[in-house]
């Protein structure tokens, strides 16, 4: 049986040329480079990485909100197939309905001058999905109830709400156009832990009820581990490892994933494990190191890592890794 | 037992605002022993930063301290009643002298147009009688100690030329160069990536041993607390709800709020575990609930809901000084 892939990136690169350099070659920020990614329909796909790893850019490229410099992104549900690189006009509009984005900061994402009802209804009106005000209102109420928003609150303005409630409003707005694919970019990072769990549970229940495919971007591996079925780990614009969640944690293969896992402080005060120390910091994406991009910080780096770019290979079913020595290190 | 380095007794702090008096900290008491790391945990709006700033009298002009509030700092020579220091000249003894503070956002804590080195020299000149040349030497030595490569070169640079992790290291170097007795670290690793956070935590642990100072470590991250603190104090809406050793609080939490926090945390060693959120939202400090401040979100009030709504719970303590403010705990003692 072949996999049912909703959206796939093949050898995708996103480059941003820097402005203001007159002489010589214009420097380019290589935000994403040679990304291969397949997201199955109905999955909760996690993308984890540190700041500057390019995870947001990748998420945006999959929504056609960042320029695709090289390679392709193909979206395909059972009704349409779009190649995002060349998508425009009415087809692009149609794709905007099918894909949505939930932002990190619920304080910045909602217009302070619109009521909650108008915020949630706006996508319906802009895209012309409903024909009458009654229909719009009914739809807004249905979605608000789904996101556990109090219907009494629809007439209020966003400032009256706490962070958790605002994030539920953002989620309602994303859901209202009946999308098939949602990118949730650090959607719980700005929330307190006691509220964060509530939003995660809500996203999970929406996913299970409606079968929407999620790309969940986060810097927090423990949040990803709890919500996602599948995880990809990014470092400096490249995916270094991807696998079903359980496999990633039980058969961690890439040294960067290992370091990331061991850096998470344990809740057990008697846990004496010393975080596997990564020296230094993430290099600049303008001038990434040659060979394996992780070689400047990798504790196992050898000569070959500094010259030869590691191949993206399949270790076992569904478990990919880009490291020359993952077998020896496992 | 040695006497504590700093003791806070019945600290109550209100802010005068347009909407009325806001109680930010309500009757908070705790001690920090010399060489001890006290973790102060709580969500946003719980009053943890305000409590920490009170130790240095750094709260804004519109803050009003209750008459019963006492903060006593014991140095080798004498006891200082912190809240009675009114003149800026006297406050210098604590600010940057006996107590130093590092902040969450290191970019915002350095002056952007003065080099890191000049800022380090400035505070050494204020708090000691070093010559500028000596101050420079000490500063470069400190930068070296916190693991900044090429310290003599970095010394001349500005904050924007440092990365996030480097800035936090420089901040720590600056805070420690005056050899304070107490370091207040307000969410020092929150803005950092986990791999950098691990480096900074390890550095701070080493420095506590080396300088034998106390740390008040403020964070919302229980994992960071578990790995750094000796004792933990949990705050909710301006109240201290539980204090105890890190093992007591994390392994056998006594307050329903602490239990709620731990249950809502995703844990890596048990991926199947359901995440249980604490229901509802933190109430506004303008509208503090009566009785126990946590009763609006508590799931364990069954049977004694009336008591929780109307009576403020007192502190109960077991034999090992694990304190909790909850009616359930009082009941347990009686039965």
Instruction: Convert the pLDDT of each residue in B265-284 to its tens digit.
Output: 888 877 778 888 888 888 88
Residue of A nearest to B265 (CA): A193
φ, ψ (nearest 5 deg) of residue A51: -65, 140
Residue that terminates a domain, selected from B178, B204, B233: B178
The rounded distance, in Å, linking the Cα atoms of A262 and A39 is 27
Asked if A200 and A329 sit in the same domain, the reply is: no
Q: What are the structure tokens assigned to A111, written together?
A: 């217009």
In-domain check, residue B62: no
In contact, A62 and A7? CB cutoff 8 Å: yes
Q: Does B205 touch chain A (CB under 8 A)?
A: no
A91 with A141, same domain: the answer is yes
pLDDT class of B334 with cuts at 50, 70, 90: very low
CB B256 within 8 A of CB B328: yes
Partner A contacted by B163 (CB < 8 A): yes
Q: How many domains does chain A have?
A: 2
Chain A CB within 8 Å of residue B195 CB: yes
CB distance A267–B163 less than 8 Å?
no
Query: Do A303 and A176 share a structural domain?
Result: no
Q: Which residue has the higher pLDDT, B243 or B57?
A: B243
Is there a single domain that holds both residue A86 and residue A187? yes
Of B164, B198, B279, the CB nearest to A263: B198
Alpha-carbon gap: B290 to the closest alpha carbon of chain A (Å): 21
Q: What is the pLDDT of residue B333?
A: 47
Dihedral (CA of A274, A279, A280, A281) sign:
negative
What per-residue confidence (pLDDT) applies to A82? 94
**Which residues of chain A does B265 touch, with a Cβ-Cβ cutoff of 8 Å?**
193, 197, 222, 267
B149 interfaces chain A, CB cutoff of 8 Å? no
Residue the block writes with tokens 């249905």: A142
CA distance B127 to B113: 22
| Residues facing residue A321 across a β-bridge | A241, A313
The verdict on B284 touching A (C-beta cutoff 8 Å) is no
Q: Residue A321 and residue A199: Cα distance in Å, rounded?
A: 31
B253/A197 Cα distance (integer angstroms): 19
The helix/strand count (H/E) of chain A reads as 11, 12
Average pLDDT over residues B123-146: 90
Are A62 and A150 found together in one domain?
yes
Q: B202 in contact with A at a CB cutoff of 8 Å?
A: yes
Say if residues B285 and B237 touch (Cβ distance below 8 Å).
Answer: yes
Q: Do B220 and A193 touch (CB under 8 A)?
A: yes
CB contacts, 8 Å: A200 with chain B? 266, 275
Q: Is residue A34 part of a domain?
A: yes
Same domain for A188 and A136: yes
Chain A interface includes B282 (CB < 8 A): yes
Question: pLDDT by residue (tens digit) across B281-326?
Answer: 888 888 889 999 999 999 888 777 888 899 999 899 888 889 999 9
Domain that includes residue A278, residue range: 258-330
Model confidence at B255, pLDDT cuts 50, 70, 90, reads very high
Does residue A264 contact residue B197 with C-beta atoms inside 8 Å?
no
In a domain, B250, yes or no: no
- Give the CATH number for residue A89: 3.40.50.300
Structure confidence at residue B108 as a pLDDT band (50, 70, 90): confident
Partner residues linked to B315 by β-bridges: B325
Length of chain A as a residue count: 330
Same domain, A159 and A192: yes
The answer on A42 and A102 residing in a single domain is yes
* Cβ-contact A288, A281 below 8 angstroms: no
The whole-chain average pLDDT of chain B stands at 88
High-pLDDT (> 70) share of chain B, %: 98
Confidence grade of residue B229 (pLDDT, cut at 50, 70, 90): very high
Does A198 contact chain B (CB < 8 Å)?
yes
Contact B199 A268 (CB under 8 A): no
The answer, for B287 touching chain A at a CB cutoff of 8 Å, is: no
Q: Nearest residue on chain B to A245, judged by CA atoms?
A: B271
Looking at beta carbons, which residues of chain A come within 8 Å of B276?
197
Q: Is it the case that residue B335 has pLDDT exceeding 50?
A: no
Query: Looking at the partner chain, which of A219, A265, A282 has a beta carbon nearest the beta carbon of B227?
Result: A265
Domains contained in chain B, number: 2
DSSP B252-282: S--SHHHHHHHHTS--TT-TTSPP-PPSS-P
In this structure, are residues A137 and A124 in contact, taking their beta carbons and an 8 Å threshold? Answer: no
ipTM comes to: 0.82
Residues A157 and A23 in one domain: yes
Does any domain span residue A243?
no
Contacts of B195 in chain A (CB under 8 A): 50, 259-260, 263, 278
Take residue B127 and report the two structure tokens written for it: 């708090």
DSSP at B299:
S
> Does B214 map to a domain?
no
Domain that holds residue B312: 258-334
The confidence score (pLDDT) of residue B56 equals 87
Give chain A's residues under pLDDT 50. 1
Q: Is residue A270 less than 8 Å (CB to CB) from chain B?
A: yes
Domain edge (last residue) among B178, B194, B227: B178
Which chain A residue lies closest to B259 (C-alpha atoms)?
A194
Q: Which of residues 68-97 of B touch A (CB under 8 A)?
A: none
Please say which residue of B127, B154, B178 terminates a domain: B178
Nearest-angstrom CA–CA distance, A56 and A8: 16
Statement to judge: residues A280 and A131 lie in one domain: no
Out of A263, A268, A277, name the one closest to residue B194 (CB): A263
Under 8 Å between Cβ of A101 and A65: yes
Maximal C-alpha separation, chain A: 68
Considering the domain architecture, whether residues A203 and A72 belong to the same structural domain is answered as yes
Q: Hunting for tokens 């049912």 — which residue is that?
A: A4
pLDDT at B106 over 80: no
A165 touches B at CB < 8 Å:
yes
Digit-coded pLDDT (tens) for B58-76: 888 888 999 999 999 987 7
Residue B121 located in a structural domain: yes
Please check whether residue A317 touches B, CB under 8 A. no
């Amino acid at each position: 049986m072949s996999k049912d892939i909703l959206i796939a990136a093949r050898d995708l690169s996103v480059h941003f040329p820097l402005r203001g350099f007159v002489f010589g070659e214009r420097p380019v920020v290589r935000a994403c480079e040679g990304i291969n990614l397949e997201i199955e329909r109905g999955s909760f796909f996690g993308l984890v990485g540190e700041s500057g790893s390019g995870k947001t850019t990748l998420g945006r490229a999959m929504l056609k909100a960042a320029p695709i410099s090289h390679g392709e992104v193909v979206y395909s549900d059972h009704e349409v197939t779009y190649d995002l690189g060349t998508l425009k006009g009415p087809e692009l509009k149609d794709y905007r309905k099918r894909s949505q984005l939930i932002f990190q900061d619920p304080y910045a994402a909602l217009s302070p001058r619109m009521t909650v009802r108008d915020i949630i209804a706006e996508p319906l009106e802009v895209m012309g999905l409903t024909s009458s005000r009654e229909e719009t209102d009914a739809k807004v109420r249905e979605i608000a109830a789904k996101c556990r928003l109090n219907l009494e609150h629809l007439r209020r303005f966003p400032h009256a709400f706490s962070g958790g409630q605002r994030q539920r409003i953002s989620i309602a707005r994303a859901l209202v156009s009946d999308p098939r694919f949602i990118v949730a970019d650090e959607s719980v990072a700005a929330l307190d832990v006691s509220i964060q769990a509530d939003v995660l549970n809500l996203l999970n229940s929406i996913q299970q009820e409606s079968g929407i495919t999620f790309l969940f971007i986060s810097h927090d591996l423990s949040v990803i581990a709890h919500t996602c079925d599948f995880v990809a780990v990014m470092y400096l614009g490249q995916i270094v490892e991807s696998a079903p969640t359980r496999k990633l944690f039980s058969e961690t293969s890439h040294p960067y994933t290992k370091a990331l896992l061991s850096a998470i402080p344990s809740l057990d005060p008697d846990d004496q494990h010393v975080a596997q120390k990564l020296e230094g910091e993430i290099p600049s994406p303008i001038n990434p190191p040659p060979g394996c991009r992780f070689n400047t910080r990798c504790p196992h780096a050898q000569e070959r890592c500094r010259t030869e770019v590691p191949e993206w290979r399949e270790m076992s079913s569904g478990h990919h890794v880009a490291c020359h020595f993952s077998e020896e290190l496992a | 037992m040695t006497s504590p380095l700093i003791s806070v007794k019945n600290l109550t702090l209100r802010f005068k605002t347009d909407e009325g008096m806001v109680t930010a900290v309500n009757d908070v008491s705790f001690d920090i022993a010399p060489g001890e790391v006290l973790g102060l945990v709580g969500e946003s709006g719980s009053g943890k930063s305000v409590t920490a700033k009170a130790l240095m009298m750094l709260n804004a002009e519109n803050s009003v301290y209750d008459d019963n509030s006492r903060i006593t700092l014991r140095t080798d020579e004498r006891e200082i009643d912190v809240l009675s220091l009114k003149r800026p000249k006297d406050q210098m003894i604590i600010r940057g002298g006996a107590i130093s503070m590092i902040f969450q956002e290191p970019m915002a804590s350095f002056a952007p147009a003065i080099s890191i080195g000049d800022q380090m020299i400035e505070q050494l000149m204020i708090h000691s009688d070093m010559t500028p040349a000596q101050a420079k030497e000490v500063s470069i030595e400190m930068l070296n100690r916190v693991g900044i490569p090429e310290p003599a070169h970095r010394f001349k640079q500005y904050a924007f030329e440092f990365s996030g992790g480097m800035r936090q290291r420089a901040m720590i170097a600056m805070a420690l160069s005056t050899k304070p007795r107490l370091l207040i670290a307000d969410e020092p690793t929150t803005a950092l990536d986990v791999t950098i956070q691990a480096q900074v935590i390890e550095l701070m642990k080493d420095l506590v041993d080396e300088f034998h100072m106390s740390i008040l470590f403020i964070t919302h991250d229980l994992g960071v607390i578990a790995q750094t603190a000796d004792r933990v104090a949990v705050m909710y809406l301006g109240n201290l709800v539980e204090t105890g050793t890190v093992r007591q609080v994390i392994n056998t939490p006594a307050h329903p709020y602490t239990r709620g926090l731990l249950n809502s945390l995703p844990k890596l060693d048990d991926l199947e575990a359901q995440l249980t959120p604490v229901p509802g939202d933190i109430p506004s400090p303008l509208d503090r609930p009566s009785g126990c401040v946590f009763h609006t979100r508590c799931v364990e009030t069954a049977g004694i809901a009336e008591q929780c709504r109307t009576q403020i719970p007192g502190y109960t303590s077991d034999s090992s000084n694990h304190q909790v403010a909850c009616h359930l705990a009082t009941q347990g003692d009686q039965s």
